[in-house]
A and B are shown apart, each in its own frame.
Chain A
Amino acid sequence: MTSSPAIRVRGVVKRYGATEVLTGIDLDAPRGEVTCLLGPSGSGKSTLLRCIAFLEETSDGLIEIDGEPLGYGPGSNGGRVRLPPASIRAVRSNIGMCFQQFNLWPHMTALGNVSEALVTVRKFSRGEAEARAMAELEKVGLAKRATHYPSELSGGQQQRVAIARALALEPKIMLFDEPTSSLDPELTGEVLNVMRRLAETGMTMVVVTHEIGFAASVGSKIVFLDHGKILVEGSPTQVFGKPRHARIDQFLDTYLDRGAAGLL
């Protein structure tokens, strides 16, 4: 079991009506490493991440988290079978997720957001939950903002609270769906720093991002999607180094003004 990747995606297809958004994805996210999903908008990278979190139903294919099937398991005669909700909950409890829009609950303070699931799901007492939540906020540098409501925090601070909220539940895998895309440029740094530190602790991470610099320096595996397919995958040097795929060249051109040129 330890030899299996943290996430194994096999033959995943996602259709919306007649449109195929993902056209048969095979992907392994290695344990303890940062896998970055890149690609132009509409390439299916966020959809893939949401399928891995089972926030989207896949139309076909299988996803394993830590060796356990999520959502669908292999059935007889080569098909797949829907797994019971309890199994989905159990497997998904290994995954933490951060969203582009942070999705903090607006009627709860930072502390309330981080401690909520500890109380309702993990059955901690209010006091234990808040102590744990406080420790998590400390890690993202926001202990002093614990009593603030989301509307009183900057975007970067909100995303850091969201990261603390996910980490409080001690996931084995963290998924990030464009965590800095709705932030002002000067706020992305603080979020990327928290993520960089998290990566250093050996957390398995899958990050959908447009931050090429982050992907190149923190990612150990780069997966480039285009039109619902994996176009190129490999180490940052393999993907970004020369000679490189013409499509990636074209994609990077649009990011040169973000300082990616110097890194590559």
Chain B
Amino acid sequence: MTWELFELLLVASIKTVALSGLSIVLGFFLAAGVCAGMLSQNVAARRAGRLFVSFFRGTPLLVQLLLIYHLLPRVGIDVPSEVAAVIGMSLCTAAYQAEILRGGFGSVPKGLLEAADMCGIGAFDTFRRIRLPIAVRLTLPALTSELIMILKASSLVSVVGVIELTRMAQDLAASTFLPLPLYAAAGLIYLVINAVIASIGAIVERRVARGHA
């Protein structure tokens, strides 16, 4: 196990972080929409939201990635591996994040909304100023976990041809006959990245905890 090999792993881990990060952010916005659909008065929107969640939460990410990678070219859309990977991970994490947010909105105490109502604050301002900030605070630990889950799940995107951290370790192990040190190094890198994410999550949680009953 040389420094050169480790450096190759580090470079590949940048792709892991970039793809996961992009997917989490895109997934969050998608999740907000799906969640709004699930909480909506509109029956069609509620059904669509639930269907989305049950499909992307009910099938393995691996299958979703393979479907996207093979389906898109069939309908004439040629996508690079990285794009297919981000689409797959975004859709999958959106389903989980939508459920997390739905739980968060459900946990905002009804009395806080009644207080807003009695102060004459309208539905939109109540959502913007009171429901959303409280829901995000309530779900921060779960959202941090989801970020970590997606980072680990990104090891699956090698099936669509993306050379990320796990795939790089596999390739190097095959060519150098040093599987143990390479997988150990890859594991260590995952651990360090996730430790950083977890501590950032903890810091943010502590900061918002100040404003919490």
Contacts and interface: CB of A to CB of B under 8 A. Distances in A.
Interface of A: 53, 55, 89, 92-93, 95-97, 99, 101, 103-109, 116-117, 120-121, 149-152, 162, 165-166, 169
Contacts of B114: 55, 99, 103
Given A149-B210, A151-B210, A105 B125 contact: no
B120 A105 contact: no
B115 interface: yes
A97 B118 contact: yes
B60 interface: no
> Interface size bucket, B side?
20 to 34
Nearest to B133: A107
Interface of B: 109, 111-112, 114-122, 125, 129-130, 133-134, 137, 208, 210-213
A121 B210 contact: no
B134 A96 contact: no
Given A55-B114, A103-B112, A120-B129, A169 B121 contact: no
A56 to B, nearest CB: 10
A117 to B, nearest CB: 4
Contacts of B137: 107
A78 to B, nearest CB: 30
21 contacts: A55-B118, A92-B118, A95-B118, A96-B118, A103-B109, A103-B111, A105-B115, A105-B116, A106-B213, A107-B133, A107-B134, A107-B137, A109-B211, A116-B121, A117-B120, A120-B122, A121-B119, A149-B211, A150-B213, A151-B211, A151-B212
Contacts of A120: 121-122, 125, 129
Contacts of B213: 104, 106, 150-151
Nearest to B208: A107
A116 B121 CA distance: 9
A106 B112 CA distance: 9
B210 A116 contact: no
| Secondary structure of the B contact surface, majority rule | helix
Contacts of B212: 106-107, 149, 151
A169 B109 contact: no
Contacts of B111: 99, 101, 103
Contacts of A92: 118, 120
A97 B120 CA distance: 11
A57 to B, nearest CB: 13
Given A55-B118, A89-B120, A107-B137, 14 more contacts: A95-B118, A97-B115, A99-B115, A103-B114, A104-B213, A105-B115, A105-B134, A106-B134, A107-B133, A108-B211, A121-B121, A150-B213, A165-B119, A166-B118
A109 B210 CA distance: 10
Contacts of B119: 116-117, 121, 165-166, 169
Contacts of A151: 210-213
Given A120-B129, A149-B211, A151-B211, A105 B121 contact: no
A108 B122 CA distance: 18
Contacts of A106: 112, 134, 211-213
Contacts of A95: 118
A116 B118 CA distance: 12
B125 to A, nearest CB: 4
A55 B134 contact: no
Contacts of B118: 53, 55, 92, 95-97, 166
A105 B112 contact: yes
Among A104, A117, A162: residue with most chain B CB under 10 A: A117
B120 A55 contact: no
Contact of B120 (A104, A149, A152, A169): A169
